[in-house]
A and B are shown apart, each in its own frame.
Chain A
Amino acid sequence: MIRCEHLTYVYQRGTPFAATALDDVSLEIGAGQVVGIIGATGSGKSTLVQHFNGLLRPTAGHVYLDDVDIHAREVDRRRVRQQIGLLFQYPEHQLFEETVSADVGFGPRNLGLGTEEVQARTRRALAQVGLDPDAFGPRSPFALSNGEMRRVAIAGLLAMEPRMLILDEPTAGLDPRSRREILDRIVRLHDTRGLTIVLITHSMDAVARLCTRLIVLDRGRLVADGSVREVFSDPAWLASLGLGIPQVAVCARLLRERGLPVRSDVLTVDEARAAILDALSRPAGSRTVSENSSG
């Protein structure tokens, strides 16, 4: 669906402050995938996703949506942005309208849709984020709680009915319960509407729970692109990049060090539980850790 070929981006080119944010990045994201992008701060994650919907033009390389170069002359950038929804960090800072409905409807109005369609999409989008359109619609977006404002912002994007949703740290600044709620909703959007999801996050636990594929960036270069389990199988290397692994995986590894042969490639609490129980159920004699156990 989205393909990048040798994507390079340099900020402030030609000035003494020039900085290469992306260096020869090539990747492909297919429809329906749930991809996580991780990397230390400044590794180019936000810069990368801003190329997907054409907000940034590559200094070198190409970006293709459905095999069409999005920077080709005939391409309508607005169509690209309708199909690829990008949610920035702290999206509640972009709210501006007098009512929640008006703000959610901003996107559809920009697409030139009629009043009825705009209203219908607004109601659907608000319902999708768990806000009652009749209760929240007429309220001012500035009179809501942080979590509610963020959901309004997400609804604003969903109202455009994109095929891909890119979320830049959607749980930043939220308490644990709100985090779980938002991530659950994202999963539901993927499962029920078939949305392709790209998630930028610093939370390895979120990645483990949601994503099937992981892309790792380091100082503008793509250094890993594979299944979540593959990428998390080398914590030492990840640590050298300033990244970690899911907490349950750390736990499993510690248990291994202390002599319990737990599988260390666990990603969720349930997997860890099963792995620990499995290790405990082995006969005492075989409870030794061999150097090259599966991990």
Chain B
Amino acid sequence: MDLLRGLMLGQYVPVESPVHRLDPRMKLLGTLWLVAIVFGIRSLAGLAVLTVFLAGVLLAGRIPPGYAVRGLRPVFWLVGLAVLFQVLFGDGGGHVLLRRGPLVITRESLVAGVFYGYRLILLVVATTLMTFTTSSVELTDGLERLLRPFRRIGLPAHELALMMTIALRFIPTLLEETDKIMKAQMARGAEFASGSLVRRARALVPLLVPLFVGAFRRADALALAMEARGYRGGEHRTRMKELHLAARDYVAAGMLALVSAAVLLPPSLWRVVVR
């Protein structure tokens, strides 16, 4: 339970920084954009520029470097696998370094493997940077504002955002409830951690049924409370913190544009620049 709580507290780092103060819509779209262009990088120089940029954002965001490393840990396996695949099963041409049966490792595939692996790392860093510097409330607010124009075609932007907000808010509550129910059933002799897979699955029933019943009970109470305070849906509803784009958001957008241009420059043009 303690372990779960550590993980679930999420990755938001509650400090004050220029990056934290950016409009969440800017951060959402910016991150999506970064994810898109990462796949367009063809040159090592491009990788370098993006690395420097992301490191800069990390610094500006006052994120302790330890956090960033810890956020990468679960992905290391994935990256390792991707690299391995590329190295072993990549294009066959080029200088052969090692040949063992059907497996061939060439210098080109090694370079390609590292390249792709590093791109994946940058991808993860970019997305975790967003979650480091944007609280879940801000994220749902930003998402709702971005999706608002789609209301005209029937997308329930407000309801979706509300669902996300409520779900996020209740994660810690439900985790605590799970812990309590687990302990109560263990006090009656239930075992959750032993036995075959089938047994463990069946052992979850005394845990899941009360949890679901409890969740419905809370949902009822919450709905009643919201209605009692005048909630009637998203129409004409104002908010305490309205999102406004400020000068810093435009500055950030500009920087992003510059970095994107530099990153996407094909290797041939880089050679020109370096000269």
Contact = CB atoms under 8 A, between A and B. Distances in A.
A78 B184 contact: no
B209 A96 contact: yes
Contacts, number: 66
Contacts of B186: 55, 81
A81 B187 contact: yes
Given A11-B2, A12-B2, A88-B180, A95 B210 contact: yes
A93 B215 CA distance: 11
B227 interface: no
Query: On chain B, which size bracket covers the interface?
Result: 20 to 34
Interface string B2-26: 1001100000000000000000000
B94 interface: no
Contacts of B214: 93
B184 A88 contact: yes
Contacts of A232: none
Interface of B is mostly: helix
Interface stretch (B121-129, B188-196, B241-249, B255-263): B188-196
Interface string A2-24: 00000000011101010000000
A164 B187 CA distance: 12
B187 A88 contact: yes
A115 B214 CA distance: 30
Q: Which 6 residue pairs spanning A and B have beta carbons closest together?
A: A110-B189, A96-B209, A94-B184, A107-B188, A86-B187, A12-B2
Interface of B: 2, 5-6, 177, 180-181, 183-191, 205-206, 209-210, 213-214
25 contacts: A12-B6, A15-B6, A17-B5, A55-B187, A78-B189, A81-B186, A81-B188, A82-B189, A88-B187, A93-B184, A93-B214, A94-B184, A94-B185, A94-B206, A96-B205, A96-B206, A106-B188, A106-B189, A107-B188, A107-B189, A110-B191, A111-B189, A142-B213, A156-B188, A160-B189
